[in-house]
Copies of this chain bind each other. A is one copy, B any other.
């Protein structure tokens, strides 16, 4: 946005990075919303007053999960969920990521897509990063959805904490990545709706892989310290 200085000359001062839009009126869809991560995010966002729809391959399962969550959450199939939402969080398992998004290209056109998928493998030694051909899950989404506004966020949240109704605040920052400031600002604002949470801009999609795969490290942290670790950026 171009502003003007006191002399009337056009000038583009550094925008306050905490000057974020009001997103309280936007409808949020959660694809894969019956899984632990999607369900947890749907719960927190609905609890914050956001209008939320859960999507699933199976509309009946989505409706059931939505009814369990209450708070006005609705459930339907992934396509209908995408169509009716302004912001669509992608919380499907990595294994179904490409296929799901490919099948929803039309429904997701023009939407603000927030990918929170962490491509991980597991073996006896624990979790390890998988490297998608496109660089990251988020870049895969961007490649498959040329008509959507793709961002990445919500990677480092504990599904256990998100879903625990006894926990009032989720003490963590959310790294938000994307190519367009207007879009990452919206996602930051959305994260900030959840009590305890803060959205922090953390770079372009080409730097999403390390954010996604850092979950493997958090799993090691959780195991060693019997914790549900999140991350806070200091000095920010």
Residues of A within 8 A of B (CB): 17, 125-129, 131, 158, 161, 171-172, 175, 177, 200-204, 206-207, 209-211, 213-214, 216-221, 224-225, 227-236
Contacts and interface: CB of A to CB of B under 8 A. Distances in A.
Pick from A131, A177, A220 the residue with the most CB of B within 10 Å.
Answer: A220
Q: How many copies does the complex hold?
A: 2
B235 A220 contact: no
A200 B216 contact: no
B232 A236 contact: no
A231 B229 contact: no
A77 to B, nearest CB: 34
A231 B232 contact: yes
A142 to B, nearest CB: 15
Contacts of A204: 125-126, 220
B231 A234 contact: yes
Nearest to A161: B235
Contacts of A126: 203-204
B220 A227 contact: no
B224 A171 contact: no
Contact of A224 (B17, B227, B234): B17
B217 A228 contact: no
Given A126-B203, A128-B206, A229-B233, 15 more contacts: A129-B209, A171-B234, A200-B221, A200-B225, A201-B225, A202-B217, A202-B221, A203-B217, A203-B219, A207-B220, A221-B233, A231-B231, A231-B232, A231-B234, A232-B234
A158 B209 CA distance: 22
Nearest to A120: B207
A203 B216 contact: yes
B220 A210 contact: no
A210 B129 contact: yes
A207 to B, nearest CB: 5
